[in-house]
């Protein structure tokens, strides 16, 4: 039996095989099929062509209306209606809309719908987020989503892997977002193309689940098939807390084969910013001068969790957003919103002059709740800064952590958090 990586072991288990090797084609059983209000309608149309009266398992399909909701226009309303009617017709348990909806990749882990060892496919590229929980999770097209809903199966080519050994203790102000941006800056947006990014090392113990989710979320920005973290006490504690089903823990074999191995000393890293128009275009604060901004967005499936809002509140408390800046805070789920309300974060944000939104993907994909005009610049805790990603093709998006985003909102220019905090 050949030595395997974490990802390869999960694929082998779900393909009912003793072992798999990189490049092999496998048909696997899936534990969860996910879709949102943009991708699900296409999948539903394809599913309907099969003339089936039920999905393979009503517990293992999740439909999350998070992108253009609360409905931004008539088309968005029609798409949600189609998903809602399908969910009712198929008796799908995990349908989320209105006051129950959160940004999908924050919502599913919070609801305990994914656990270690699971195999998850989602018609959204950031489905790779769940690798933080020790699952194999990856984005697929809407047709694959339709077949997944019908059969509970999916085809994959087994990916080879890159290993990232994280060592050292992160310095002050360093967040998971900075670490993953640093990595993408090193390997590039296609540096892990159709490969698995596996994270291990003694530095993991310093990374919260929120930070791991943020990092796994952006594996796709390096072109990866998936990102996956070694399961440890932090993972198991989180899974227990959210009531996830019994985890199935896979550890890479000692002699597993990796295309490349990177060792990254977290103690030597500091905050970074990804400049337009690619996530690989990273710069440290000694590499650029003042850059005036018009908008700050703190939220998304990358950085809209409670820990992210806590950091933002820490920076914004008792301070004011610059007069020319629109600062938009988007808690990723209703639970996060409520906890932020109870902890006083939302009052801090509003006192500082921020806008607080209902949970939505909103501006991240140029949807609504903060579109940029020609020539405007935004600092965002989102995951992509492609041309026109957040609005006009001549606008600019700078990716950063909640620390940097909140500090920049106050100064009105891209700022290191110590400019405000020290």
Chain position carrying tokens 């977290």: 266
> In a 3-state reduction of DSSP, which class is residue 378?
strand
Integer Rg of the chain from CA: 21
Ramachandran area for residue 388 (φ above 0: left; ψ -120 to 50: alpha; else beta): left
State the Cα–Cα distance between residues 120 and 102, nearest whole angstrom.
18
Q: How high is the pLDDT of residue 386? A: 87
SS3 of 305-362: CHHHHHHHHHHHCCCCCCCCCEEEECCCCHHHHHHHHHCCHHHHHHHHCCEECCCCCH
Strand partners, 138: 121
Q: How high is the pLDDT of residue 91? A: 97
Q: How high is the pLDDT of residue 136? A: 98
pTM (2 d.p.)? 0.95
State the Cα–Cα distance between residues 420 and 422, nearest whole angstrom.
6
349: nearest Cα among 326, 332, 333? 326
Roughly what angle, to the nearest 10 degrees, separates helices 334-342 and 306-316?
Answer: 40
> Could you count the other beta carbons within 10 Å of the beta carbon of residue 292?
13
Chain position carrying tokens 């994959």: 156
Q: Give the chain's domains with CATH numbers.
A: 10-265 (3.30.499.10), 272-421 (3.30.499.10)
What is each CA distance from 200 to 3, 71, 165, 233, 269, in whole angstroms? Answer: 17, 41, 5, 13, 17
Per-residue pLDDT of the chain in tens (422 residues, 90 and over written 9): 789 999 999 999 999 999 999 999 999 999 999 999 999 999 999 999 999 999 999 999 999 999 999 999 999 999 999 999 999 999 999 999 999 999 999 999 999 999 999 999 999 999 999 999 999 999 999 999 999 999 999 999 999 999 999 999 999 999 999 999 999 999 998 988 899 999 999 999 999 999 999 999 999 999 999 999 999 999 999 999 999 999 999 999 999 999 999 999 999 999 999 999 999 999 999 999 999 999 999 999 999 999 999 999 999 999 999 999 999 999 999 999 999 999 999 999 999 999 999 999 999 888 899 999 999 999 999 999 988 999 999 999 999 999 999 999 999 999 999 999 98
Would you state the torsion angle of the CA atoms of residues 109, 42, 190, 255, taken in this order, to the nearest 10 degrees? 50
State the Cα–Cα distance between residues 302 and 390, nearest whole angstrom.
15
Tokens of 85: 């009617």
Q: Which residues of 207-241 are buried (b: 16+ CB within 10 A; e: fewer)?
A: bebbbbbbbbbbbbbbbbbbbbbbbeebbbebbee
State the Cα–Cα distance between residues 130 and 126, nearest whole angstrom.
9
């Amino acid at each position: 039996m050949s030595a395997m990586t974490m990802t390869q072991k999960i694929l082998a288990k779900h393909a009912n095989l003793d072992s798999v090797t990189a490049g092999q084609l496998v048909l696997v059983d899936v534990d969860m099929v996910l879709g949102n209000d943009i991708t699900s309608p296409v999948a539903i149309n394809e599913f309907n062509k099969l003339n089936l009266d039920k999905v393979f398992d009503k517990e293992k399909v999740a439909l999350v209306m998070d992108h253009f909701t609360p409905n931004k226009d008539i088309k968005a309303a029609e798409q949600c209606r189609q998903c809602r009617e399908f969910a009712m017709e198929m008796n799908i348990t995990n349908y989320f809309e209105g006051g129950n909806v959160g940004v999908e990749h924050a919502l599913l882990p919070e609801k305990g719908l994914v656990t270690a060892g699971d195999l998850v496919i989602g018609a959204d590229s950031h489905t790779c987020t769940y690798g933080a929980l020790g699952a194999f999770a990856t984005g697929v097209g809407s047709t694959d989503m339709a077949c997944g809903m019908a059969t509970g199966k999916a085809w994959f080519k087994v990916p080879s892997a890159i290993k990232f050994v994280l060592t050292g203790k992160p310095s002050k102000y360093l967040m998971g977002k900075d670490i993953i941006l640093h990595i993408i800056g090193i390997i590039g947006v296609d540096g892990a193309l159709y490969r698995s990014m596996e994270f291990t090392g003694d530095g993991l113990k310093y990374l919260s689940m929120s930070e791991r989710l943020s990092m796994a979320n952006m594996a796709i920005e390096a072109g990866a098939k998936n990102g996956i973290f070694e399961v440890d006490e932090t993972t198991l504690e989180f899974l227990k807390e959210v009531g996830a089903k019994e985890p199935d823990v896979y550890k890479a074999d000692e002699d597993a084969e990796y295309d490349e191995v990177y060792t990254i000393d977290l103690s030597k890293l500091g905050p970074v910013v990804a400049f337009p128009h690619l996530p690989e275009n990273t710069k440290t604060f000694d590499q650029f001068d003042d850059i005036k901004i018009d908008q700050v967005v703190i939220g998304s499936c990358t950085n809209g969790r409670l820990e992210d809002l806590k950091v933002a509140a820490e920076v914004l408390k008792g301070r004011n957003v610059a007069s020319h800046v629109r600062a938009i805070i988007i808690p990723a789920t209703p639970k996060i919103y409520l906890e932020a309300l109870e902890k006083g974060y939302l009052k801090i944000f509003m006192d500082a002059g921020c806008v607080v939104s209902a949970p939505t993907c909103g501006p991240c994909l140029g949807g609504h709740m903060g579109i940029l005009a020609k020539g405007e610049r935004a600092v965002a805790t989102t995951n992509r800064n492609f041309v026109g990603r957040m609005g006009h093709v001549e606008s600019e998006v700078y990716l950063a952590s909640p620390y940097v985003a909140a500090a920049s909102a106050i100064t009105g220019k891209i700022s290191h958090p110590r400019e405000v905090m020290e």
